[in-house]
Amino acid sequence: MNATSEAYRVGEIEIVVVSDGERTAPVAEGFVLNAPLEEMQRAYAPYGLPDCQGNTPYNPTVIRTAGQTVLVDTGVGADTAMQPGATSGFLMRNLAAIGIGPDDIDTVIVSHFHGDHVSGLVARNGGPAFPRAAITVPANEWSFWMDDGELARATPGRKQDLFAHNRRVFEPLADRVHTHAWDDEVVPGVIAVGTPGHSVGHTSYLVSSGGESIFLIQDVSNHPAVSLAHPGWHLAFDQEPIAAEATRRRTLEWLAREQLPVQGFHFPFPGRAFIEADGDAYRAVPVRGAG
């Protein structure tokens, strides 16, 4: 991947997709809960990946609206970039390459509390990665992950690890965290859209200006090879797999019917595409070039 950012406009709003990198690794048993390993391993082949390899890009989005510089989701965190052979964790470096420093971010919007979306809130020194930024998060996502009763009921393994990680990320930042409800205008031109299932409070964002719109789909879809080509697959990362599938099918049908472009957090960079129906499944048709 050569380019690490791409800018385009939605009416008067500027969108800049900034890559945090990607992860390519062997497809493992259990990644999809309701599909055989061999089928999972074949899924990514049309995207040019080696046999049995899967791929997860990370595409945070900068929105410049009404004089504000807003970042939607923060990637896997700068510590990841320091690991040997790292292929992700590059958001801060790639922001700097286009002239955006930590103090330039006015607001960070979070879609949900999984590590590849919130870890970048913390700098390598343990302080806030964006010292001036207000942080706004979905209200029901905050109330779930910060609830001690939910923590006590969490099953061992990934669920407990997520609770611990979210406490580490957010407790030092709690004085700057605000919550928003679904259907709120979070910042001018950006509406929160409830898309639960992948996480209990998972939220997508509809950006609109001057009669134009784009839908930040976030984790309604993982890589198109998985979530679009196989909308019925339940990923191990889905908190409520049946609800996630229902949300995914409903959202993809709407996007295809309305021909509303999407910005895909986990789509191959730069991730701007139209969704088209393909029999009982879907495909992403990339939008080429800046606009």
CA distances, 92 to each of 95, 173, 207, 262 (Å): 5, 18, 23, 24
Count of structural domains, the chain: 1
Q: Are 51 and 1 in contact (CB under 8 A)?
A: no
The answer to whether residues 5 and 263 touch, using CB atoms and an 8 Å cutoff, is no
Looking at the chain, how many residues does it have? Answer: 291
* Residue 291 lies inside a defined structural domain of this protein: no
Which amino acid is residue 261, in one-letter code? Answer: P
Measured distance CA(263)–CA(216) in Å, rounded: 5
The verdict on pTM exceeding 0.75 is: yes
- CB distance 260 to 55 below 8 Å: no
Whether residue 65 is contained in a domain is answered as: yes
Beta-bridge partner residues of 17: 6, 61
Q: What is the pLDDT along the chain (291 residues), one digit of tens a residue?
A: 458 999 999 999 999 999 999 999 999 999 999 999 999 999 999 999 999 999 999 999 999 999 999 999 999 998 898 888 999 999 999 999 999 999 999 999 999 999 999 999 999 989 999 999 999 999 999 999 999 999 999 999 999 999 999 999 999 999 999 999 999 999 999 999 999 999 999 999 999 999 999 999 999 999 999 999 999 999 999 999 999 999 999 999 999 999 999 999 999 999 999 999 999 999 999 997 655
CA distance 112 to 131: 21
In a domain, 105, yes or no: yes
Task: Give me the pLDDT at residue 1, please.
Answer: 42
Q: How far apart are CA 249 and CA 243, in angstroms?
A: 10
For the domain that residue 58 is a member of, what is the CATH number? 3.60.15.10
Question: What residues does 275 pair with on adjacent strands?
Answer: 284
3-state secondary structure 105-123: CCEEECCCCCHHHHHHHEC
Of 2, 218, 6, 245, which Cα lies nearest the Cα of 110?
218
Torsion angle of the four alpha carbons 221, 226, 230, 231, in this order, in degrees rounded to the nearest 10: -20
Q: Which domain holds residue 11?
A: 5-286
Q: Is residue 59 part of a domain?
A: yes
pLDDT at 2: 56
Q: In this structure, are residues 285 and 276 in contact, taking their beta carbons and an 8 Å threshold?
A: yes
Assess if residue 258 is contained within a domain.
Answer: yes
**Would 207 be classed as within a structural domain?**
yes
